[in-house]
């Protein structure tokens, strides 16, 4: 295969591809992207493959692609920092007038990119997002909780999070710079995308199965990720803990008055140990829940206060990589 040279002019579209153990998917992704880029011959591209500490041959595959096509850039982390860090690194090193984020497993259809480009350039939007209208192929329990998460977030958060929204989107430079200005360590990009605002149009598509490999997100990991999102974009859990404390206090006062009145009026002895144990467990449960909620917020503050870098570079072919 002959080497493909870039045009040498300023980059029109940067495509950020976060990867963790995507050795099997990358060649398929690259072939599909070559077809898409051929549909937009007037535009110059760069594809930034961010290797998030993969343990397979993802980095070697990226290097081989870079040798044959100098539109391919790669960034390799010193270890696995997570998809959020990979997306941030890609955005930070993207030089294009427009920047897209796209998964390598082809669950984000690259063939949508020309339409996304048309919308953002002709209709005056700052970003074009994508959302799945079906979850065909996903476990029903996972789909159920995903929908509930988006519904809860829409009620308790000011960030606009659309049900079924993917990280797959095309953004102009103003939108990307706004995201990069949010340098927080605990990143929840689905919330950050909505928090920065601007004009966004949504394109819909049906769920697509992975081209290769397996999902890196278990149900437990997704649950913890959703907790990160709630803590990052809402204070409602703190208010709920306070309300639960006030409610239990009022209930305790009411119960005390009831026991005293019953004793004075009817001469009934105080009830046995069972009711006491139930009350202790109830109050103790509320206290532990409240402490846990407070602990989540404090842990995020603790991590932010350390001011550690979001990621560490191991190697890259990007000159002056940031």
Give tens-digit pLDDT for 67-121. 988 899 999 999 988 888 899 999 999 999 999 999 888 888 889 899 999 999 9
Backbone angles phi, psi at 77, to 5 degrees: -85, 160
pLDDT of residue 217: 55
Q: Find out whether 64 and 57 touch, Cβ atoms under 8 Å.
A: no
| Nearest residue to 149 (alpha-carbon basis) of 84, 243, 222 | 222
pLDDT at 49: 93
What mean pLDDT is predicted for residues 9-15? 87
Show the domain range for 269.
Answer: 236-306
67 and 142 assigned to the same domain: yes
Domain membership of residue 30 (yes or no) is: yes
Over 70: is that where the pLDDT of 61 sits? yes
Q: What is the pLDDT of residue 83?
A: 86
How far apart are alpha carbons 235 and 231 in whole angstroms?
7
User: How many domains in the chain?
Assistant: 2
Least confident of 125-139, 164-178, 218-232: 218-232
Whether this prediction's pTM lies above 0.75 is answered by: no
Residue % of the chain over a pLDDT of 90: 23
Is there a single domain that holds both residue 42 and residue 99?
yes
Q: What pLDDT score was predicted for residue 70?
A: 87
Instruction: Provide the pLDDT for residue 308.
Output: 81
Token pair listed for 30: 């690259």
pLDDT band for position 273 (cuts 50, 70, 90): low
CATH code, domain with 59: 3.90.550.10
d(C-alpha 253, C-alpha 256), whole Å = 5
The answer to whether residues 129 and 252 belong to one domain is no
In terms of domains, do 272 and 186 share one?
no
pLDDT for position 189: 76
* Residue 143 lies inside a defined structural domain of this protein: yes
Per-residue pLDDT reduced to its tens digit, 277-298: 667 767 777 777 777 777 777 7
Token pair recorded at residue 256: 């005390």
In a domain, 40, yes or no: yes
Q: Are residues 210 and 272 in the same domain?
A: no
Residue 228 lies in a domain: no
For residue range 213-249, list pLDDT tens digits in order: 565 555 566 666 666 666 665 666 777 777 777 777 7
- Within a domain: 2: no
pLDDT score recorded for residue 135: 60
CA separation for the pair 124, 201 (Å, rounded) = 10
Claim to verify: residue 132 and residue 255 sit in the same structural domain:
no
CA 255 to chain CA centroid, Å, is 46
The residues near 176 (Cβ < 8 Å, ≥ 6 apart) are: 91, 94, 99
Let me know whether 105 and 206 are in one domain: yes
Specify if 224 maps to a domain. no
Are 38 and 81 part of one and the same domain? yes
pLDDT at 75: 93
Output the furthest CA–CA distance in the chain (Å, rounded): 97
pLDDT score for 1:
47
Q: Does the pLDDT value for residue 185 go beyond 70?
A: yes
Residues 40 and 184 in one domain: yes
Same domain, 31 and 168: yes
- The per-residue pLDDT for range 299-311, each reduced to its tens digit, is 777 777 778 888 8
What's the per-residue H, E or C state across the chain?
Answer: CCCECCCCCCCCEEEEEEECCCCCCHHHHHHHHHHHHHCCCCCCEEEEEEECCCCCCHHHHHHHHHHHECCEEEEEECCCCCHHHHHHHHHHHCCCCEEEECCCCCCCCHHHHHHHHHHHHHCCCCEEEEEECCCCCCCHHHHHHHHHHHHHHHHHCCCCCCCCEEEEEEEEHHHHHHHHCCCCCCCCHHHHHHHCCCCEEEEEECCCCCCCCCCCCCHHHHHHHHHHHHHHHCCHHHHHHHHHHHHHHHHHHHHHHHHHHHHHHHCCCCCCHHHHHHHHHHHHHHHHHHHHHHHHHHHHHHHHHHCCCCCCEEEECCCCCC
Task: Indicate whether 189 and 45 sit together in one domain.
Answer: yes
* Rounded Cα–Cα distance for residues 236 and 275 (Å): 31
Q: What percent of the chain has pLDDT over 70?
A: 72
Task: Examine the domain organization and report whether 47 and 152 are in the same domain.
Answer: yes
What is residue 186's predicted lDDT score, i.e. its pLDDT?
A: 79
What pLDDT score was predicted for residue 159? 61
How far is it, in rounded angstroms, from Cα 25 to Cα 210? 8
**Structure tokens given for 248:** 């239990």
| Residue 231 included in any domain | no
- Would 183 be classed as within a structural domain? yes
Lowest mean pLDDT among 50-64, 77-91, 104-118, 159-173: 159-173
Average pLDDT, rounded, for the chain: 79
Q: pLDDT band at residue 144, thresholds of 50, 70 and 90?
A: low
pLDDT band at 140 (very low <50, low <70, confident <90, very high): low
């Amino acid at each position: 295969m002959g080497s493909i040279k870039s045009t040498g002019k300023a980059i029109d579209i940067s495509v950020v591809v976060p990867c963790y153990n995507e050795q099997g998917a990358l060649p398929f992704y690259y072939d599909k992207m070559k077809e898409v880029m051929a549909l937009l011959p007037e535009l110059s591209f760069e594809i930034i493959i961010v290797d998030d500490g993969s343990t397979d041959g993802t980095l070697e595959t990226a290097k081989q692609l870079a040798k044959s096509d100098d539109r391919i850039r790669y960034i390799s982390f010193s270890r696995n920092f997570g998809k959020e860090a990979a997306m941030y690194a890609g955005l930070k090193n993207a030089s294009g007038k427009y920047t897209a984020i796209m998964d390598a497993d082809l669950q984000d259809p690259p063939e949508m990119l020309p339409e996304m480009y048309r919308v953002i350039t002709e209709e005056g939007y700052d970003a074009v997002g994508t959302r799945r209208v079906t979850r065909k192929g996903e476990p029903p329990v996972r789909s159920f909780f995903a929908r509930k998460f988006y519904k809860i977030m829409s009620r308790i958060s000011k960030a606009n999070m659309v049900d079924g929204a993917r990280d797959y989107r095309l953004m102009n430079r103003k939108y990307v710079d706004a995201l990069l200005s949010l340098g927080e360590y605990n990143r929840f990009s689905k919330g950050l995308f909505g928090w920065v605002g601007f004009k966004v149009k949504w394109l819909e598509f049906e769920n697509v199965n992975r081209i290769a490999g397996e999902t890196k997100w278990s149900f437990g990991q997704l649950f913890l990720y959703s907790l990160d999102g709630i803590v990052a974009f809402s204070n409602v859990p703190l208010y709920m803990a306070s309300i639960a404390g006030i409610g239990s206090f009022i209930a305790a006062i009411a119960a005390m008055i009831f026991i005293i009145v019953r004793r004075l009026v009817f001469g009934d002895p105080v009830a046995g140990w069972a009711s006491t144990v139930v009350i202790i467990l109830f109050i103790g449960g509320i206290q532990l829940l409240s402490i846990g909620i407070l602990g989540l917020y404090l842990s995020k503050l603790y991590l932010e206060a350390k001011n550690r870098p979001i990621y560490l570079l191991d190697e890259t072919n990007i000159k002056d990589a940031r």
